[in-house]
C-alpha cells in the first residue's frame, strides 16, 4: 500500500494506493474517511492520479457524508453548573447528594441525585442511553413504516457507542445508532435514520442513494450541517 495525494483546487485528497490483478481502477471511501484506490498492476502513477482527480468531486462528497457521522462533542464537565445537550437544547446540571441515584430533567435543568458525586458522569451517560433507546424507537417507527413501500425493513434498531460514526447499517440489515445522537435535535436524528434506511436499498453512496435520500428528506443537507455545527 502506497500513500499518495492529489491537489484539487484548494483541497488536498490523500489516498492509499494498492496495485492488484484487476482490470479497472476502483475507489472506496471508508467510514473512517480513508480514500482507498485499487489499480491494475501495470497502471502508471500519473494515470492513477489523473483518474482520482476526475473523481475528486465525488470523493469530496462522500467524505462530507462520513464527516457528519463523526461525533465531535467536546468533553463536558460533569459538575453542577455545566451545560449538556439533550435533543438540541442546552440544559444545566444540578448535582445533589441524596439517598438514591436518580436523573431527571425539569425546565432547563438536568437534575442528578447521587449518593456520591463520583458517579455523576456514569449516571448521566446511562440516562442518555436510556432516553436514546426510547426516543430513537419513537422517531424511527414512522420512518420504518414509510420505507416499507420499497419492500425493505431493518432487522432491528440497536444502540451502540461508536467513536467515529453516528449510525451504521450492517450487511444483515441491522441499524445501529450512537447514543450520543440523543443530544441533537429531532430532525438530525431523523436524517441519520433515513440515511441508514436508504442503505437497506443502496449499500454505497451512489447518485441513486443521494436521490433517494433527497426524496425522503428534501432538507437533509440542512440537518446534516446542523448536526456538524451543533456537536462540533
Domains annotated for the chain, with CATH where assigned, are 2-67 (no CATH), 83-230 (3.30.2010.10)
97 to 52, 81, 112, 125, 142: CA distances (angstroms) = 59, 15, 8, 18, 41
pLDDT at position 123 is: 95
Residues of the chain with pLDDT > 90, as a percent, come to 61
Q: How far is CA 226 from CA 118, 123, 131, 155, in A?
A: 33, 27, 21, 29
pLDDT in tens, 185-200: 999 999 999 999 999 9
pLDDT the model gives residue 70: 61
Which parts of the chain register pLDDT below 50? none
Which set of grid coordinates corresponds to residue 54? 476526475
Q: What is the 3-state secondary structure (H, E, C) of the chain?
A: CEEEEEEECCEEEEEEEEEECCCCCEEEECCCCCEEEEEECCCCHHHHHHHHHHCHHHHHHHHHHHHCCCCCCCCCCCCCCCEEEECCEEEEEEEEECCCCEEEEECCEEEEEECCHHHHHHHHHHHHHHHHHHHHHHHHHHHHHHHHHHCCCCCEEEECCCCCCCEEECCCCEEEECHHHHHCCHHHHHHHHHHHHHCCCCCCCCHHHHHHHHHHCCCHHHHHHHHHHHCC
Full-model pTM = 0.69
| 20-66 pLDDT, tens digit each | 999 899 999 887 778 999 999 999 999 999 999 999 999 988 888 77
Give the mean pLDDT of the chain: 89
Amino acid at each position: 500500500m502506497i500513500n499518495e495525494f492529489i491537489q484539487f483546487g484548494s483541497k488536498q485528497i490523500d489516498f492509499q494506493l494498492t496495485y492488484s490483478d484487476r482490470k479497472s481502477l476502483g475507489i472506496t471511501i471508508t467510514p473512517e474517511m480513508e480514500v482507498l484506490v485499487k489499480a491494475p498492476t501495470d497502471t502508471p502513477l500519473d494515470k492513477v492520479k489523473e483518474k482520482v482527480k476526475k473523481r475528486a468531486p465525488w470523493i469530496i462528497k462522500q467524505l462530507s457524508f462520513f464527516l457528519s457521522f463523526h461525533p465531535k462533542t467536546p468533553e463536558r464537565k460533569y459538575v453542577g453548573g455545566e451545560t449538556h445537550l439533550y435533543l438540541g437544547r442546552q440544559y444545566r446540571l444540578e448535582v445533589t447528594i441524596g439517598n438514591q441515584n436518580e436523573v431527571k430533567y425539569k425546565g432547563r435543568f438536568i437534575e442528578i441525585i447521587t449518593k456520591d458525586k463520583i458517579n455523576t458522569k456514569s449516571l448521566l451517560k446511562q440516562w442518555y442511553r436510556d432516553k436514546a433507546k426510547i426516543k430513537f424507537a419513537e422517531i424511527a417507527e414512522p420512518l420504518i413504516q414509510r420505507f416499507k413501500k420499497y419492500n425493505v425493513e431493518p432487522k432491528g434498531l440497536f444502540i451502540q457507542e461508536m467513536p467515529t460514526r453516528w449510525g451504521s447499517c450492517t450487511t444483515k440489515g441491522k441499524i445501529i445508532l450512537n447514543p450520543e445522537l440523543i443530544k441533537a435535535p429531532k430532525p438530525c436524528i431523523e436524517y441519520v435514520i433515513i440515511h441508514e434506511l436508504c442503505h437497506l436499498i443502496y449499500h454505497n453512496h451512489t447518485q441513486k442513494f443521494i436521490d433517494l435520500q433527497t426524496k425522503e428528506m428534501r432538507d437533509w443537507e440542512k440537518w446534516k450541517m446542523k448536526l456538524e455545527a451543533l456537536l462540533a
